[in-house]
Amino acid sequence: MFSKQDRAHDLQTSQVDVPVFIRVCLCHRVANGSTQPISNMSSMRVALLAMLPILLVDAQSMAASIQCLPGQAAALLQLKRSFDATVGDYFAAFRSWVAGTDCCHWDGVRCGGDDGRAITFLDLRGHQLQADVLDTALFSLTSLEYLDISSNDFSASKLPATGFELLAELTHLDISDDNFAGQLSEPSLDTLLANLTNLQELRLGMVDMSSNGARWCDAIARFSPKLQIISMPYCSLSGPICRSFSALKSLVVIELHYNYLSGPIPEFLADLSNLSGLQLSNNNFEGWFPPIVFQHKKLRGIDLSKNFGISGNLPNFSADSNLQSISVSNTNFSGTIPSSIINLKSLKELALGASGFSGVLPSSIGKLKSLDLLEVSGLQLVGSIPSWISNLTSLNVLKFFHCGLSGPVPSSIVYLTKLTDLALYNCHFSGEIATLVSNLTQLETLLLHSNNFVGTVELASFSKLQNMSVLNLSNNKLVVIDGENSSSAASYSSISFLRLSSCSISSFPNILRHLPEITSLDLSYNQIRGAIPQWVWKTSGYFSLLNLSHNKFTSTGSDPLLPLNIEFFDLSFNKIEGVIPIPQKGSITLDYSNNQFSSMPLNFSTYLKKTIIFKASKNNLSGNIPPLICDGIKSLQLIDLSNNYLTGIIPSCLMEDASALQVLSLKENNLTGELPDNIKEGCALSALDFSGNLIQGKLPRSLVACRNLEILDIGNNQISDSFPCWMSKLPQLQVLVLKSNRFIGQMDISYTGDANNCQFTKLRIADIASNNFSGMLPEEWFKMLKSMMTSSDNGTSVMESRYYHGQTYQFTAALTYKGNDITISKILTSLVLIDVSNNDFHGSIPSSIGELALLHGLNMSRNMLTGPIPTQFGNLNNLESLDLSSNKLSNEIPEKLASLNFLATLNLSYNMLAGRIPQSSHFSTFSNASFEGNIGLCGAPLSKQCSYRSEPNIMPHASKKDPIDVLLFLFTGLGFGVCFGITILVIWGSNKRNQQA
């Protein structure tokens, strides 16, 4: 399959009139004007020299006769002037574009047509040219057949809505990677393609077509029936591949990777008889992949990687297959890898990185001598790395990851001398790795993390690998040391990515002094003590990542203003004291949590202009939060200063100007004053945690501007307010914690006259404990908690925020659960809790609580509630914790409570309950403490036995009559008398006890 460059070169090749050239060279004129063949080489040279002036004149006259059309030359010069002459390869691109010369011979330009003067070819690709817009002069070149302006920069301008329809002769169009902004909507896509019925190649990579929905492919199929190549990566395409694509019978290459396409991959792709390349990676396709596509006779490459919803098996491959590349990595493919893979004689890349593969790797793979890349995973694969691997001597890339393989790496792997990338991670490999280091001298990338490798590794030994740039030895059983000559200036200059997490390192590796190219360093989870050496801050002027967390550092060994740029800087979980260090040249993530820092440098916010995440929780920071932090608020998305000793008021900008800030945690400090109450529209806050402070006043009503707010925790403060029904206007609110404040009054759910104005549509955790609420709990309010009735997710996800480069921040909440005060570090989106304890609520318990089927915990203790426990509580099948203690509840314990099999914590103590405690194997696990203080209760586990006449509370599935009662009735009814019956029963009971003993 020819590349785009090959085709471009063919089109640029000049057409030579071979017969005329031969006639000129092999003949000479005689006196009478006729021609005769030249008989020898000497005579030929004489003739050619004699003819040279004539040839030059003829060439000039020919050139003059085929000059390009003047109007088109002017259009090209206008296009040239639209680009910035100081950016990119401007002069290289336009060196020959000089007014007055024939534009048919300008670089990147070719002419054709009936008279050879019309511009049919324009190629400006890859020159990094920059213009404010795409100049409309381009659209006057209506004779264009080939247009490629890809990989330039049009300054985030919009792709022209009209103009392309004028280029009706186009067979090749490439406007990919041109930094066009905005979306190409369906009408514009129709306009773009409406007259391009001759298109054979369409490349629109990185053109945003998200507004087209699932209609994009219908437009392409309708207007471009001759398409052979369609390339649309990074176009934000969505929806399925539509059925109309099946009409594009000429398709040879389909490239739709890095989009949001979904649905099944259609089987009709196998019917496209010319299909040779299918690139569908990094989408959201799902369902069973039709194996017949693999068996397409002309298919050379297929890439389905990173479509996690696709499942399937590899088929039996036939000997007439032309496949050169297969990738199903990061899919849900499963089953065994067929031995028929040996039939793929032309295979160069085999990427089978799907965790569902099982069984034994077929030895037939070892006979694919042309393989350049082999990538395998499979959690159920068995055995070790097979010895036949050494047969694949052409391999450049070998990857075994996320697999069930174990054992040592075979020594024969050293025969793979062409290896540049070796990745053996997240498996169960063991043994030592010294052989790899000493023999595979071409390695550029070595990933061995998350295995069971053992032994001592000397970093100095990697000086033998002159091409090494990426090294990861993390999370093994290795002991990594500097080794001999680590202080010498040995050549390690190419290493830029070094991960040594959990490598039992006890001192800062001296070898790092000799890595001037290092940009990513991870030394986390080691035992490095003392100060960070000063030379670390001078090794490199830039780190994409510097992770020194989970060590025993006590000092940064430097001035607090570090003279470098560190994008991701993590010093958390150390013992560092003093002033927080700040990279002067900027950072994206700064994590200083769990240290002993006491202050921040003056004007520190000056260096937060690019910072997105700033965490300094669990330190010794004191004093006021500097108002200067507001200077950096425009970029900050997360601020965590919790668990310190901060005092004073909260700077108003942290809430009032929160157009970027999503998470603000200031919990467990000594902050005072009132919360800012001038929050502007556009508030981006999703989580606010001010718990454990001394904040007073009321909740700011302007919080309703924070439409994305999911969590509000204001517990353990001194807030004086009423129940905030107005917060039901926050459509995303899921967690509301108001406990341990000074809230007062009744839960008035109709304060504006709107019966539904207190309807919290997504609330899952409501904690209003330990306040001064009073009155009755409204029956109607619990009926409005619809999110506690039916599940909207799979119950496995965690409440968190996601940030740049996949970083996450997991929300926490301090709650009373199962009788204990705990901090939940990972709030599952399935967790449903209500706590109204320690208030002054009275009246009966609303029976509507029994409709909250998802409820895991309910605490209504220490109120003045009266009446019975609602029998509807027996419907709470997910209930794990129930605390109704210290109220004035009466009547019997509902029998159905004993059927709640998930109930682990039960406290009904100190009420006025009476009757027999329901008997079940589950209820028998609760201690006396669950029922004490109810003088009317009897039966296990209490020592108080129920009287004979007591009506027992018994589980519905238990026997309705005691066997003893039944026998006594029978004996009496048959006339034996009560005394005889009792005697028989005593003997029977004694024998039964003896048998059990």
pLDDT, one tens digit per residue, over 674-688 is 999 999 888 999 999
Task: Name the pLDDT band for 830 (thresholds 50, 70, 90).
Answer: confident
pLDDT of residue 954: 41
Task: Name the pLDDT band for 498 (thresholds 50, 70, 90).
Answer: very high
* 3-state SS assignment for residue 696: strand
**Model pTM?**
0.78
Residue 10 has pLDDT above 50, yes or no: no
Strands 260-263 and 284-288: parallel
Task: Name the pLDDT band for 22 (thresholds 50, 70, 90).
Answer: very low
Closest listed residue to residue 426, CA positions, set 394, 447, 401, 460: 401
Residue 587 has pLDDT above 80, yes or no: yes
**Exposed, middle or buried, 16 (CB in 10 Å: 0-12/13-18/19+)?**
exposed
DSSP letters of 121-151? EEE-TTS--BBSS--GGGGG-TT-SEEE--S
**CB neighbour list of residue 445: distance below 8 Å, 6 or more residues apart:** 420, 421, 422, 423, 468, 469, 470, 471
- How far apart are alpha carbons 699 and 737 in whole angstroms? 12
pLDDT of residue 509: 92
Phi, psi of 152 (to 5 degrees): -125, -170
pLDDT of residue 269: 94
- Percent of the chain predicted with pLDDT > 70: 83
**CB neighbour list of residue 298: distance below 8 Å, 6 or more residues apart:** 273, 274, 275, 276, 322
Residue found under tokens 């109450």: 677
Q: Tokens representing 340?
A: 């028929």
pLDDT of residue 209: 85
Q: What is the pLDDT of residues 229-244, one digit of tens each?
A: 999 999 999 999 999 9
Rounded mean pLDDT, 81-109: 95
- How far apart are alpha carbons 554 and 508 in whole angstroms? 13
Rounded mean pLDDT, 194-209: 92
Task: Name the pLDDT band for 113 (thresholds 50, 70, 90).
Answer: confident
Where are the chain's structural domains?
Answer: 284-382
Task: Name the pLDDT band for 463 (thresholds 50, 70, 90).
Answer: confident
Phi, psi of 802 (to 5 degrees): -110, 145
Closest listed residue to residue 536, CA positions, set 550, 555, 553, 556: 556
Task: Name the pLDDT band for 378 (thresholds 50, 70, 90).
Answer: very high
Q: What is the pLDDT of residues 335-369, one digit of tens each?
A: 999 999 999 999 999 999 998 999 999 999 999 98
pLDDT of residue 807: 64
Rounded mean pLDDT, 324-335: 95
- How far apart are alpha carbons 930 and 907 in whole angstroms? 4
Residue 751 has pLDDT above 60, yes or no: no
Task: Name the pLDDT band for 817 (thresholds 50, 70, 90).
Answer: low
Rounded mean pLDDT, 718-747: 94
Q: Is the omega angle on the peptide bond into residue 626 within 30 degrees of 0, that is, cis?
A: no
| Angle at the Cα of 866 from the Cα atoms of 865 and 867, rounded to 5 degrees | 140
Decide: 374 and 326 in contact? Cβ < 8 Å.
no
Strands 325-327 and 277-279: unpaired
Residue 802 has pLDDT above 80, yes or no: no
**CB neighbour list of residue 9: distance below 8 Å, 6 or more residues apart:** none
Decide: 776 and 841 in contact? Cβ < 8 Å.
yes
Decide: 256 and 283 in contact? Cβ < 8 Å.
yes
Q: Tokens representing 695?
A: 């904040």
Rounded mean pLDDT, 373-398: 94
Phi, psi of 90 (to 5 degrees): -60, -50
SS3 content of the chain, % helix, strand, coil (to 5): 25, 25, 50
Q: What is the pLDDT of residues 836-876, one digit of tens each?
A: 999 999 999 999 999 999 999 999 999 999 999 999 999 99
Mean pLDDT lowest among 126-140, 433-447, 475-489, 724-738? 475-489
Task: Assign a CATH topology to domain 284-382.
Answer: 3.80.10
Closest listed residue to residue 658, CA positions, set 691, 635, 626: 635
What is the C-alpha R_g of the chain? 39
Task: Name the pLDDT band for 35 (thresholds 50, 70, 90).
Answer: very low
Closest listed residue to residue 868, CA positions, set 850, 885, 893: 893
- Percent of the chain predicted with pLDDT > 90: 64
Rounded mean pLDDT, 149-155: 95
Mean pLDDT lowest among 447-461, 488-502, 780-794, 982-996? 982-996
Closest listed residue to residue 134, CA positions, set 106, 162, 113: 162
Q: Tokens representing 348?
A: 């160069």
Closest listed residue to residue 894, CA positions, set 948, 941, 847: 847
Task: Centre a 10 Å sphere on the Cβ of residue 560 and count the other Cβ atoms it contains.
Answer: 17
* 3-state SS assignment for residue 817: strand
Q: 192 vs 754, which has greater pLDDT?
A: 192
Task: Name the pLDDT band for 961 (thresholds 50, 70, 90).
Answer: very low
pLDDT of residue 54: 39
- Residue 798 β-bridge partners: 828
- Residue 430 β-bridge partners: 408, 452
pLDDT of residue 826: 64
Q: How far apart are the first and last CA of the chain?
A: 85
Residue 796 has pLDDT above 80, yes or no: no
DSSP letters of 949-975? TS---B-TTS-SS-HHHHHHHHHHHTT
Rounded mean pLDDT, 801-808: 62
- How far apart are alpha carbons 670 and 652 in whole angstroms? 17
Closest listed residue to residue 896, CA positions, set 916, 870, 867: 870
- How far apart are alpha carbons 576 and 891 in whole angstroms? 60
pLDDT of residue 381: 92
Count how many Cα atoms sit within 13 Å of the Cα of residue 195 in the half-sphere of its side chain: 11
Mean pLDDT lowest among 64-73, 86-95, 524-533, 856-865? 64-73
pLDDT of residue 473: 97
Q: Tokens representing 130?
A: 């920059």
Residue 947 has pLDDT above 70, yes or no: yes
- How far apart are alpha carbons 792 and 801 in whole angstroms? 19
Decide: 626 and 653 in contact? Cβ < 8 Å.
no
- How far apart are alpha carbons 764 and 593 in whole angstroms? 29
Task: Name the pLDDT band for 21 (thresholds 50, 70, 90).
Answer: very low
Decide: 75 and 138 in contact? Cβ < 8 Å.
yes
Task: Centre a 10 Å sphere on the Cβ of residue 753 and count the other Cβ atoms it contains.
Answer: 6
pLDDT of residue 454: 96
321 DSSP assignment = -
pLDDT of residue 757: 77
Count how many Cα atoms sit within 13 Å of the Cα of residue 84 in the half-sphere of its side chain: 13
Task: Centre a 10 Å sphere on the Cβ of residue 995 and count the other Cβ atoms it contains.
Answer: 7
Residue found under tokens 């003896």: 994
Decide: 397 and 418 in contact? Cβ < 8 Å.
no
C-alpha dihedral over 822, 827, 830, 831, to 10 degrees?
20
pLDDT of residue 949: 53
Mean pLDDT of the chain: 84
